[in-house]
Structure 1
Amino acid sequence: MTSVFDRPLSDVFLIISGTTLLRYLLFAGFAYVAVWIVLRSRLLHRRIQKSFPKAKHLRREIGYSLLTVLIFASVGVGMHMAQKAGYTLMYSDFHEYGWGYFFFSLAALILLHDAYFYWAHRLMHHPKIFARVHLVHHKSTDPSPWAALAFHPFEAVLEAGILPMAVMLFPLHVYTLLAFLGFMMFLNVLGHLGFELYPKGFTKNPLTGWNNTATHHNMHHRYFNYNYGLYFNWWDRIMGTNHPKYHETFERITTTPLIGSAKTSSIEVAEEGA
């Protein structure tokens, strides 16, 4: 059986671009169809912003996301070449490090990426960079699930940079990378969902409040200068960059249970100033 590391570059590019595209379409497509179309009328009371983006904005999000897929695949080819040259610590034999290390390395990669993303995101908001690069993503002031990968090409390279760095820092199994990419896409789509699915009190509960929410990231798209975190909330807490009305807004949106009365569908979302 041919090892993943022994395939030609053309095969590697096709495999990575194909699996990345499939992952994007499955996660973003399912979220859009399920929440924005099928369950839309039943979940309007959990809509974070009352309006919906026009079709041209959705097309822009999809277009940039497809470009990102190609860029991610190109970075993957670079990682493959680095592996062949002996510059990475990727491995394909589970017995080499065992199952315990597999799960430990997955958790470590998630924590590393959360820190990497926060500070890279702060960099993207530097005045000299924002208008030239990050504005592409922020044109979605009310994002849809399709915005999950809608980046400027330079930002897409920066986003993908976590993986080449990680595989040179500590050993990572190929399946660890796949599990991480699935986790990343799931929470990325959830952050751009535009509807809040978590229950009231979630952000203030010490057992769950360290997780970010759709409300958290939607407020970042709306107000720009707060809520930079990705998976977890602790970097925003440490650096004082949570929006001052984040918890208040979350509680207002989640006043009615997830499957609530259609009469609550016009719930008002407060106009907080940045």
Structure 2
Amino acid sequence: MDGFLGWVGRLGAGEVAAGALVFNVGLLVAALLAGGWLVRRYGYRRVAPVPGPVTAGEAALVAVAVLLNSAVGVAGWALWKAGWITVSTAAGPGVLLELAAFTLVMDALMYAAHWIAHRRRLYRLAHEMHHRFPDPRPATLFALHPLEVAGFGGAWLAVLMVWELSVPALGGYLVLNLVFGLLGHLGVEPLPARVRRWPLFRWVALPMFHVGHHLDASVNFGFYTTVWDRLFGTVDPAYDRMRHAADPAAVRAPNGLQSPA
């Protein structure tokens, strides 16, 4: 691990920028391929209407998000080089506890920011753009206003400036963030009812949790957990019934989901 950090430290800014761009394009391609497969595989468990064709506007937002995410990566490297961000090379079981703690902190910050973004005077500034796509698909994960992309990137860089995270925990969080974001924008529920009924999934957000926010923007502001929504009373009242149901969509829409004309 020390050798890897030493190699990264010797890279030039142009090399880091190119690497960050390749990395983020790779994440986008992986998300679209994996998400497309999951939608095809579990299309019979749809929890949101089938979205219409991808628009030019949506594609443009996705492209800008990839560029901005790459810029955040370069900014993180620069802050690390300057000593504002420090990381450790710790390994072992403690990394899992570190990852869980960091995820909970980020979940709390993202819940608060998401709730604030829905306040009337701020909603039209940025977050409204994401809700122009109420029927989510994998690409919707990246269809965000540039201010939101920069805001999220800035938030986790700010946390890293006061928290010396281990490299494995940081890598684990990046993977976890992509997985939860992708699952929350599939529009289908891959997990069978017997798994969704596990006590763990009362607190860990299922794919249908964020889909519920796209369908009703007044509920389900959390990302990784349901902890903060349950604590502050913003969880969808139908969520637990949907979580236990063999056909979750029938709980929300007894007459069936309506696809766009």
- TM bucket normalised to smaller: 0.7 to 0.9
1:68 aligns with 65
Alpha-carbon contact 1:65-1:151 (below 8 Å) kept: yes
Alpha-carbon contact 1:249-1:269 (below 8 Å) kept: no
* Aligned mate of 2:226, from 188, 212, 233: 233
Matched residue pairs, number?
Answer: 251
Gaps spanning 5+ residues in structure 1: where?
257-265
Alpha-carbon contact 1:21-1:66 (below 8 Å) kept: no
* Aligned mate of 2:50, from 41, 46, 52: 52
CA distance in 1, matches of 2:170, 2:193: 33
CA distance in 1, matches of 2:152, 2:110: 7
- Structure 1 residues 206 and 249, CA, compared in 2 at 3 Å: closer, same or farther? closer
CA distance in 2, matches of 1:30, 1:161: 27
Gaps spanning 5+ residues in structure 2: where?
none
2:123 aligns with 130
* Aligned mate of 1:248, from 216, 241, 259: 241
Alpha-carbon contact 1:28-1:148 (below 8 Å) kept: no
Q: How far apart are 1:25 and its partner, in Å?
A: 1.4
Alpha-carbon contact 1:68-1:156 (below 8 Å) kept: yes
2:35 aligns with 31
Alpha-carbon contact 1:20-1:69 (below 8 Å) kept: yes
1:218 aligns with 211
Q: CA RMSD in A?
A: 2.5
Alpha-carbon contact 1:12-1:77 (below 8 Å) kept: yes
Alpha-carbon contact 1:48-1:253 (below 8 Å) kept: no
Q: How far apart are 1:209 and its partner, in Å?
A: 1.4
**How big is each residue's C-alpha offset from its partner over 1:72-127, in whole Å with a ceiling of 9 and x where there is no partner?**
11122222222222111224xx3xx4434433332222111111111111111111
Q: How does 1:1-274 map to 2 (within 5 A)?
A: 3-32=7-36, 34-37=37-40, 39=41, 43-49=42-48, 51-57=49-55, 59-91=56-88, 94=89, 97-200=90-193, 205-252=198-245, 254=247, 268-269=255-256
* The 10-residue stretch of structure 1 (148-157 or 193-202) with the greater mean CA deviation from structure 2: 193-202
Alpha-carbon contact 1:48-1:194 (below 8 Å) kept: yes
- Structure 1 residues 255 and 231, CA, compared in 2 at 3 Å: closer, same or farther? closer
**How big is each residue's C-alpha offset from its partner over 1:53-83, in whole Å with a ceiling of 9 and x where there is no partner?**
11134x5444312211111111222222222
TM-score, normalised with respect to structure 1: 0.82
CA distance in 2, matches of 1:44, 1:89: 44
CA distance in 2, matches of 1:220, 1:148: 13
